Amino acid sequence: MRAFARLISILAGLGVCGFCQSNEYAFARSATIHQSVYLNFLKITADLAAESHVLDKEVRPLMLEARMQVVESGAVSQPLQARLRDVEDQWARTVQDHVEQLRIAFGEGRFRTLDEFIQAGRSMYQKPAQR
């Protein structure tokens, strides 16, 4: 799931930050993705990137406090451990929700193909294996 979240975040950045419109549509055509599916994909990934940013801003002070507690007392307090677990669980739910949105947008077959590609850990530029 982390690999999928990372890919979504990277692609969200490409979709919302300076990718010229003609390149966006060239990518969509080359990947044989219908324009409405592609735009939905950009919306889903941009939403995940925004939510990721919010959670990151929330977790940073918690992590600093946890490190300070370890330095001062050798352990992280139970309430802080619980709060960190809550944020981690919230992140996992957020990613899973967006993955499900992508599954619906792409359809099961295409989503499975994309998921298998991501899970295999291959580069986008690596040639497919000969069959």
| 54-73 pLDDT per residue, tens | 999 999 999 999 999 999 99
Is residue 59 within 8 Å of 49, Cβ to Cβ? no
Cβ partners under 8 Å of residue 114, min gap 6? 106
Distance, in Å, from the CA atom of 83 to the CA atom of 56, rounded to the nearest integer, reads 14
What per-residue confidence (pLDDT) applies to 42?
87
- Show the DSSP H helices in 2-127 as ranges: 2-16, 21-30, 35-73, 78-106, 108-120
Distance, in Å, from the CA atom of 60 to the CA atom of 131, rounded to the nearest integer, reads 47
What per-residue confidence (pLDDT) applies to 110?
83
What per-residue confidence (pLDDT) applies to 124?
62
What per-residue confidence (pLDDT) applies to 5?
58
Which residue positions in the chain have pLDDT lower than 50? 13-30
